[in-house]
A and B are shown apart, each in its own frame.
Chain A
């Protein structure tokens, strides 16, 4: 069964500092990886994805993520955090289904609350 782990429930950073939100995964086959952000009282917004190709993926709002196959990680990063980046961040993965015949459903991590202090 596929799974996603976001080991930190909360991440606190000062505005202007770099930020990292961690994600590790376990899937069969090559993973499709996604990051979503959720602001209070809103739905999830798609940030970026990795399907294939360059391991460094750039997304919305200056975010990027690095796919590391050997470490099965897909950490979200931003060089300089903004207070407005404070939100709940979800990592998600899609891999082969149980039969190994096709790609299965998307599995979400539990989310990481990012707080950026002024």
Chain B
């Protein structure tokens, strides 16, 4: 639908598991973002990558570890998560320098931590 895909769409994991979320954009964009969307809370920006370099980490706990091997792919590695980390995790991308243009979002990964 938007050229940004995310897998898996749904993930249930225990607090001791390690898993990874994947995002891929087919739009030729140079900036990529991870957001967390929780019920009744504003959208929270987690990480920003600009031309594969991480430019922002908004005080995200170390149990979340991003990786951007190239401008088209973005990963979020998860380990020893807490139940409060259950949320919809959204990936987005945009053209040019980060924040210069509108962002295009993927469908999200619905994460449940048990």
Contacts and interface: CB of A to CB of B under 8 A. Distances in A.
B45 A42 contact: no
B-side interface size class: 20 to 34
B34 interface: no
A22 interface: no
B105 A43 contact: yes
B48 interface: yes
Interface residues of A, number: 19
Interface of A: 34, 36, 41-46, 49, 90, 94, 103-106, 108-111
Interface of B: 1-2, 4, 6, 41-43, 45, 48, 56, 90, 92, 99-100, 102-108, 110
Given A43-B106, A44-B90, 12 more contacts: A41-B108, A41-B110, A43-B90, A43-B105, A43-B108, A44-B43, A45-B1, A45-B105, A46-B103, A49-B102, A106-B99, A111-B42
24 contacts: A41-B108, A41-B110, A42-B1, A42-B108, A43-B4, A43-B6, A43-B90, A43-B105, A43-B107, A43-B108, A44-B43, A44-B105, A46-B103, A46-B104, A103-B100, A104-B99, A105-B45, A105-B48, A105-B56, A106-B45, A106-B99, A106-B103, A108-B42, A111-B42
